[in-house]
Amino acid sequence: MSQPTATPSTLAQTTLATVVSAIASTLQGEYGIAPQPVLLSVGIDPAVMQDSERRLTVTTLSPLWLRCVELTGNEAFGLRSARYYQPVQFYGVDLALCTSATFGEALQRHVQFIRVLTTAALPQLQTEANGDHRLEVRRHGPQPPADAALDCFFHTFYIRLFERQTGLLSRQLLRRLELPRQAPKDPAPWLALGVPVVFGCPCGAMVFKAEAWSLPLPGANPQLLAQLEQPILRHLA
Q: Rounded to the nearest 5 degrees, what angle is found at the Cα of 104, between the Cα atoms of 98 and 106?
A: 30
Interval 120-150: pLDDT, tens: 778 899 999 999 999 998 887 788 889 999 8
Q: What is the bridge-based pairing of β-strands 174-178 and 133-139?
A: unpaired
- CA 156/CA 23 separation, integer angstroms: 12
Q: Contacts from 179-184 at CB under 8 Å and sequence distance 24+?
A: 179/150, 179/151, 179/154, 179/204, 180/139, 180/150, 180/204, 181/147, 181/150, 181/151, 182/147, 184/75, 184/76
Torsion of CA 177, 181, 186, 190, to 10 degrees: -30
Q: Is the pTM of this model over 0.75?
A: yes
Start-to-end CA distance of the chain, whole Å, equals 13
**Domain range list for the chain:** 1-237
Q: What is the pLDDT of residues 37-88, one digit of tens each?
A: 999 999 999 999 887 778 888 899 999 999 999 999 999 999 999 888 776 5
The rounded distance, in Å, linking the Cα atoms of 170 and 175 is: 9
Model confidence at 92, pLDDT cuts 50, 70, 90, reads low
Element (H, E) at 154: none
Question: Helices H, strands E: what count in the chain?
Answer: 11, 7
Amino acid type, 212: A
Beta-bridged to residue 126, according to DSSP, are 134
pLDDT, mean of residues 82-98: 68
User: What pLDDT, in 10s, does the model give residues 172-196?
Assistant: 999 999 999 989 999 999 999 889 9
